[in-house]
Amino acid sequence: MNHRWKLFVMMVLQFAIWGAWLPLIFGYLPSLGFDDWQQSAVLNAFPIAAIVGMFFGNQFADRTFAAEKFLATSHLIGGASMLALGFVHSFWPFCVLMYVHCLCYVPTISITNAIAFAHLKDSQREFGLVRMGGTIGWILVAWPFTFVFVDWSAVSAANPEGLTAWLGEALKHPLAGDAAKAATTWTFVVSGGASLLLSAFALTLPHTPPRASESLAWAKAFRLLKHPFVLVLWVVALVDALVHQSFFMWTGRFLESAAVGIPANWVMPVMSISQVAEIFTMIGLGTVLRKLGWKWTMVVGVLGHVLRFFVFAHFPGHPWLIVAINVVHGICYAFFFATVYIFVDTFLPKDIRSSAQGLFNLMILGVGPLLANTFGPHVFTHYTASATEATPPDWHHLFELPMWLALGAALALALHFRPPANPRST
């Protein structure tokens, strides 16, 4: 395979690892009996790892190790710990294993970006197509769980005749209760297996050696914040990441609620509509960047969150609209997050490529999700704990919170983000 196809497969596996466990863990942790603070402790493993990775993982990749070897080692350790998560159910072992996995995995998101940019000739045109592999990987691990979460004893009892009848029975008998909790453990097994596979595949990637210059690459990356356009984008990335994490934290339970009524075995496929839409936006990202420019492409990406949470807040009783609006996730991700990564590679110094990516992942994967994971369970409980059959959860006010935050971030970006004409002026 040529380099671009190898980079594409790298992204498939990189995001299959994350996509396998993330959508269902928010409902899985309460089923294990973890209280709100214990849930936050587990969920915060990922953002804390992003913060730690900024100072250690990215530093090693920039200054000490070849990036592909760092990737292989990280996924070997992270994959083993993720596999173990499928077999433990008490808080402390679960929490420790999640931190081991995340401390190894999260820096590799910046590393895979850096490897891709190092071997692409035209990042604005090619990165969207390579990164689309991550979207496909996320989708590939979502759809099989439609059949993992099926009550096969009920299907056998119905004794359907023919493929169509069998498929119909399978889709209308989702697992529930302890059986669904047991099936959820497969998400960790699949994720761990994908991580070990990427560990081996990483050794076939094109060589990406470390670059020697000053010893503290992360310190040089932080000094970039003296430029107003970098600082504005960094702060907007924080808010957008917080809003983005709210989608994953609350949407699964919202879809399963009486207001929407999506069966449990369809939650992951419905949420994967978001990633299907990403494919098309990634394909068109280069064209959109040329037509709209950096600022307005990213503004449109943030406004996608506004539209989605507006629909969630104001139309919870319209399930088809709730399902359909997930297509804007492609705009949210490609036009903001993917564009940020391309912008960083274009405008910021090449000799600290991993740390410059890590500077923004500090907000996108670190501080933003950390705030969401810390306060999100309590906010969710506040608006849903008093719900009864007569009084449904207050979805309206719950989803208006991220809607208004996203609108403020879009306005800040539109008014104050002014990148220089010369990409290397930093």
**Is pLDDT larger for residue 234 or for residue 165?**
234
Query: Cα–Cα distance between 70 and 62 in angstroms, integer?
Result: 10
Confidence of residue 87 (pLDDT cuts 50, 70, 90): very high
Query: Cα–Cα distance between 384 and 382 in angstroms, integer?
Result: 6
CA nearest to 49, candidates 370, 398, 406: 370
The whole-number pLDDT of residue 59 equals 62
Q: What is the pLDDT of residues 215-257, one digit of tens each?
A: 667 778 888 899 999 999 999 999 999 999 999 888 888 888 8
Q: Which amino acid is at 172?
A: K
Query: Cα–Cα distance between 411 and 236 in angstroms, integer?
Result: 10
156, pLDDT greater than 60: yes
Compute the half-sphere exposure of residue 278: CA atoms within 13 Å on the CB side of its CA.
Answer: 25
Cα-based torsion angle of the residue sequence 83, 179, 249, 253 in order, rounded to the nearest 10 degrees: 160
Would you state the structure tokens that stand for residue 236, as one six-digit string? 């907007």
C-alpha triplet 54, 305, 288: angle, nearest 5°:
85
Q: Among the listed ranges 161-165, 185-189, 202-206, which one has the minimum average pLDDT value? A: 161-165
Q: What is the pLDDT of residues 174-199, one digit of tens each?
A: 777 777 777 888 999 999 999 999 99
Q: Where are the alpha helices (DSSP H) in 315-328?
A: 319-324
403, pLDDT greater than 90: yes
The whole-number pLDDT of residue 295 equals 95
Would you state the structure tokens that stand for residue 100, as one six-digit string? 């081991």
- CA 349 remoteness from chain centre: 26
Confidence of residue 308 (pLDDT cuts 50, 70, 90): very high
- CA 367 remoteness from chain centre: 14
Would you state the structure tokens that stand for residue 99, as one six-digit string? 């931190």
Percent of the chain with pLDDT over 70: 92
The mean pLDDT value for 397-410 works out to: 96
Neighbours of 38 (CB within 10 A): 18
Percent of the chain with pLDDT over 90: 37
Q: For 150, phi and psi rounded to 5 degrees?
A: -110, 140
The mean pLDDT value for 202-212 works out to: 84
Residue 150 pairs with which residues in a beta bridge? 174
Residue 415 pairs with which residues in a beta bridge? none
| Residues 21 and 67 sit within 8 Å (Cβ to Cβ) | no
Query: Cα–Cα distance between 359 and 364 in angstroms, integer?
Result: 9
When the pLDDT of each residue in the chain is averaged and rounded to a whole number, the result is: 86
Q: Which CATH class is domain 3-416?
A: mainly alpha
Would you state the structure tokens that stand for residue 35, as one six-digit string? 């209280």
Confidence of residue 14 (pLDDT cuts 50, 70, 90): very high
| Residues 55 and 220 sit within 8 Å (Cβ to Cβ) | no
Confidence of residue 17 (pLDDT cuts 50, 70, 90): very high
Positive or negative CA dihedral for 74, 365, 266, 156?
Answer: positive
Neighbours of 212 (CB within 10 A): 10
Query: Model pTM?
Result: 0.75
| Residues 367 and 353 sit within 8 Å (Cβ to Cβ) | no
Query: Cα–Cα distance between 215 and 59 in angstroms, integer?
Result: 9
Neighbours of 72 (CB within 10 A): 20
56, pLDDT greater than 80: no
With b for 16 or more beta-carbon neighbours within 10 A and e for fewer, the 89-102 pattern comes to: eebeebbebbbbbb
